[in-house]
Structure 1
Amino acid sequence: MISLLRHRLSEGVRALGLRQRRRTADPVQADVLSQQLGESCSLRPEGPLLWVHLGPGADVAAVALLLTRLDEARGDLAVLVTLDAYPAPAEFAAALTQQLPADVTEAVEGFLSHWRPDVCLWIGEGWAPVLLTEASGRGVECIAADARMSEAHMRGRRWKAALARAELAPFRHILTGTRDDAARLTALGGDGARVETVGWLESSVAALPCNEAEWTGLSETLDARPVWLAADVPMAEIPAVIAAHRFASRLSHRLLLILVPADVATGPALRAQLESQGLRTMLRSADEEPEPDTQVYVADSVGEMGLWYRLAPVTYLGHTLDGGNGRSPMEPAALGSVVVHGPDTGAHGAVVERLHRAGGHMPVADATELGRAIERLLAPDKVADLAHRAWAELTSGAEAADRALELVGAALDRADALP
């Protein structure tokens, strides 16, 4: 009990500080502070409302995808996203967003009375026992997803048993990523019947579409030729890509490079440049298809990346040798194309780290290594192994997302059935 009382006292002091700061804050900051005190300047929409909180450790992209799936399944559902940070990520532009209120009775009651949520999905850590207990007491069904409890946090909470129980008690279901986390959560009061190990919510991407007739026709035209793709390649990287292709072609003279320039308008000029270097080149925008002796196929079209990923078992991601922000590694990996990339992964570092963890990619340091990597990946068994590892890693969040959606849907159905 002492630990819970200490938490209430600490949050009370915090709320007092928020009120004092609000007196001298500019209008934008004053609004943020008011939200943290449980006030809101937004109206509650009519109809059912799902309250989603993003705590520490939540994968923003994964949550955004989860909300997209919810919107597709329940178009009448309003979503309120609460956060500890300001401003809200751009991924939640279509949702209502608000700062999480301080965990004190006055702020909690103001927040819950205004929003009247039907269901709460709490993602990540940072549980607020006063808020969650009050919400549960008002009939809000609470579900925890991506609940984490490291060994270090476990040690820190053993002497805070009352606080830990208060944090976990309001949740009807607690979803976590590993058996170790599940054991620690159970030991702290989340009984085994409520705790489920379903993996972590992690970002993924839907497979890019393609024209099936085009895919069938080009597959027949290529006639099982070895193919690799260089996607979204800036002009500065063209020499490295061509050098890599020449290197790998020593072992496979039928090897075809599908080259997608970063600027598709450069397609005709790029074709002329490559032909001047003695490379037999065809151009997509000229309605040409690869012939048996074609070495490079310049795919200067828009909206066909799904087609190229399906045709090429190996994809080099442009902008990763010379810098810039290229395409997501998830795109080729979702379609079974092995990702090859340079050291500069831009905004996609987290995805690359997941691929590295799974051993499902081929990193290269420079143009020389790129050629060697393409040569190594001419072996079908090597490609199949890497592609499977990448696919398994990048779809690992599917079970967690599916279970969270199932529980939220059932909770909303129960809320709808209430008088």
Structure 2
Amino acid sequence: MAQSFGLMLYYVLAHQYGVLQRRRLEHQKDATRIHERLGTPKERRPDAPLIWCHVKTKTQVDAFFETISRIREDGDELWFLLTSESADLDDFLKQHLPEQCFHLFLPLQAPQFIRPYLEHWKPDAVVWTENPSHPLILCEIAARKIPLILADANMPAAKPSLFHQLLRLDKSLYQKFEAILARDEETADWLKRQGIETDKIEIIGPMQEGTVALACNEVERARLAALLLTRPIWLAACCSENEEAIVIAAHKTAMRRAHRLLLIVVPERPERGSTLAQDFEAAGLNTCLRSGGEDPDENTQVYVADTEGEMGLWYRLAPTTFMGGTLEPNTKPGGASPYDPAALGSAILHGPELGPFADSYARLGEAGATEFVEDKTTLATAVETLLAPDKAAIMAHNAWAVSSGGSLVTGRIIELLTDVLDTPRAG
């Protein structure tokens, strides 16, 4: 009864707060997105299942991007609504939002704005992150019997406000979730002390980016592996034109220590393949071209892999990968995601230009999975160091461990969402 009265009082106060907030917003100079905050988004809701994901950090955004990519592999028509409250996240999402995704701010925390927001979007499921903030939104979602999943649950760093304690809101909000994915055992124990059913709680680790290993033609992998069986190999992936000369010089230097060293180069643009092969030949390196149907032999020093859709093959063959796009500013700063080679157990070399992948490189670096290079000299030195199988193996294992850890959480979210979408919802 006290909880019911507390919630009613909260609704009344929130309604009045919403009136004041609306007046404040209407007097702002930049009113281009007020409609989102007032619960009347301009975007049309697609006629397809829609998942609402609320994020708070860049790491969670990256993890949800991976979730979206993986859940779509089945080919289902599925849309996502990503909401946030941070201006920094808003800027990032504007530039990197996947297809069939919307990004909006949360509505003002008042029933007169939350209800039309939910009526418009009618989400089939909601994934919330960290802690059940915004009581009115969660109450309105639960009242509509929309499945709620709490991901990246973490024990609150501070006690709830006296106001929330008096209204007994915070503890009851956890009860509204069908599943709670806790970061650690400490969080799980704290949830149990709050009276949350044990079967709702899973200890699964922090929500972080990972990736599914890129596919490849296994017959072709085995064939090339047999051809290159005893040769040391390194890969320069998606190199920009500015980096090509650096890679040539680094390879020539590294070959002084290992004359049988083979470099596989994937140009940033496949059409650069034949020109790049000519540049390597002009530098005195025996080169063959993938698009020309040529195979590397014992005398080949550089293999230009200028075909599309085969990165999974090259990451599998090379125990060490230099990530192109990271040494020199170019049209695609940061190149490709470092989690692609990480998932396939390749040690990673990179420069300072990390683009949108700075957080990913930081996480891999902390785990001892990467090495920083800044020019042709340090790149050559790093390649030479990783010719030692034990050194490369340690870094490769660390890379794989980080990547697979992130995939565990996103995989569980996908399982829960799949169950939700496959289960008819009661009116």
Q: What TM-score does the superposition give when structure 2 sets the normalisation length? A: 0.83
Match status 1:17 vs 2:18: no
**What are the equivalent positions in structure 2 for 1:170-189 lying under 5 Å apart?**
170-187=176-193
Select the residue among 296, 308, 314 that pairs with 1:308.
Answer: 314
Q: CA deviation at 1:296?
A: 1.9
Alignment correspondent of 1:146: 152
Match of 1:202 in 2: 208
Instruction: Judge conservation of contact 2:233–2:318 (CA < 8 Å) in 1.
Output: yes
Structure 2 portions without partners, runs of 5+? none
Residue 238 of structure 2 corresponds to residue 229 of structure 1 = no
For residue 414 of structure 2, give the secondary structure of its aligned residue in structure 1: helix
The answer (yes or no) to whether the contact 1:22–1:34 under 8 Å persists in 2 is no
CA contact (8 A) 1:340 1:361 kept: yes
Instruction: Output one character per residue of 1:361-403: Cα deviation in whole Å (capped at 9) or x when no partner.
Output: 2222332222121111112222222111101101212222232
Matched, 1:398 2:399: no
**Distance in 1 (alpha carbons) for counterparts of 2:245 and 2:45:** 57
2:421 equivalent to 1:418: no
In 2, distance between residues paired with 1:144 and 1:221?
Answer: 49
Please list the CA deviations of residues 227-264 of structure 1 after superposition, one character each: whole Å capped at 9, or x if unmatched.
11112223333343233223322332211111223344
* Inter-partner Cα distance in structure 1 for 2:254 and 2:119: 66
Letter in 1 for 2:34: L
* SS at 1:229 equivalent: strand
Instruction: Provide the aligned C-alpha RMSD in A.
Output: 3.3
Q: Give the aligned residue type for 2:250.
A: A
1: CA distance, partners of 2:295 / 2:268: 20
Cα pair 1:175 1:195 within 8 Å, conserved: yes
Residue 330 of structure 1 and its aligned partner are, at CA, apart by 1.6
Q: Are the aligned partners of 2:132 and 2:170 in contact in 1 as well (CA < 8 Å)?
A: no
Paired residues for 1:311-350 under 5 Å = 311-324=317-330, 325=333, 326-350=335-359
Following TM superposition, by how much is the alpha carbon of 1:327 offset from its aligned partner in structure 2, in angstroms? 2.0
CA shift, 1:198, in A, is: 0.9
Structure 1 position 114, deviation (Å): 4.0
Moved more, 225-234 or 315-324: 315-324
Match of 1:217 in 2: 223
Contact (CA 8 Å) 2:78, 2:100: kept in 1 or not? no
Which residue is equivalent to 1:38?
39
Does the aligned pair in 2 maintain the 1:58–1:123 contact within 8 Å?
A: no
Q: Can you list the C-alpha shifts for 1:323-365, whole angstroms capped at 9, x where unaligned?
A: 3312221222222221111222222111111111211122223
- State the 1:35 CA deviation: 2.9
Matches within 5 A, 1:20-419: 20-22=24-26, 29=31, 32-42=33-43, 44=45, 49-56=50-57, 59-72=60-73, 75=76, 79-84=80-85, 89=94, 90-125=96-131, 127-149=133-155, 153-155=157-159, 160-161=164-165, 162-187=168-193, 190=196, 192-324=198-330, 325=333, 326-414=335-423, 416=424, 418=426
Question: Per the alignment, do residues 73 and 16 of structure 1 end up closer, same or farther by CA in structure 2, a change over 3 Å counting?
Answer: farther
CA contact (8 A) 1:204 1:397 kept: yes
C-alpha contact 2:18 2:109 (8 A) present in aligned 1: no
Are the structure 2 counterparts of residues 280 and 83 from structure 1 closer, same or farther at C-alpha, using a change threshold of 3 Å?
same
Q: Which amino acid aligns with 1:39?
A: T
SS of residue matched to 1:230: strand
| Structure 1 stretch displaced more, 240-249 or 306-315 | 240-249
Q: Do the aligned partners of 1:11 and 1:102 also contact (CA within 8 Å) in 2?
A: no
Compared with structure 1, are the counterparts of its residues 396 and 270 closer, same or farther at alpha carbon in structure 2 (3 Å cutoff)? same
Letter in 2 for 1:137: A
Cα separation, 2, equivalents of 1:24 and 1:244? 55
Q: Secondary structure at the match of 1:171?
A: coil
- Residues of 1 paired with 2:272 and 2:111: CA distance? 62
CA distance in 2, matches of 1:159, 1:189: 20
CA contact (8 A) 2:346 2:399 kept: no
What amino acid is aligned across from residue 426 of structure 2 in structure 1?
L
| 5+ long unaligned stretches in structure 1 | none
**Alpha-carbon distance, 1:186 to partner:** 4.5
Deviates more, 1:34-43 or 1:79-88: 79-88
Report the secondary structure of 1:397's partner residue: helix
In 2, are the aligned partners of 1:15 and 1:102 still within 8 Å (CA)?
no
Q: 1:96 to 1:268 in 2, by over 3 A?
A: closer
Post-superposition offset of 1:79: 4.4
User: Greater shift after overlay, 251-260 or 295-304?
Assistant: 295-304
| Distance across 2 between alignment mates of 1:387 and 1:8 | 57
**1:142-173 deviation line (CA, Å, top 9, x unaligned):** 221122335xx324658853342244232232
Contact 1:164–1:189 under 8 Å retained in 2: no
Distance of 2:381 and 2:310 partners within structure 1: 27
Residues 1:199 and 1:275: Cα distance change in structure 2 (over 3 Å): same
> 2:15–2:111: 8 Å Cα contact kept in structure 1?
no
The 8 Å contact of residues 287 and 300 in structure 2, kept in 1 or not, is answered as yes
- Further displaced range: 340-349 or 6-15: 6-15
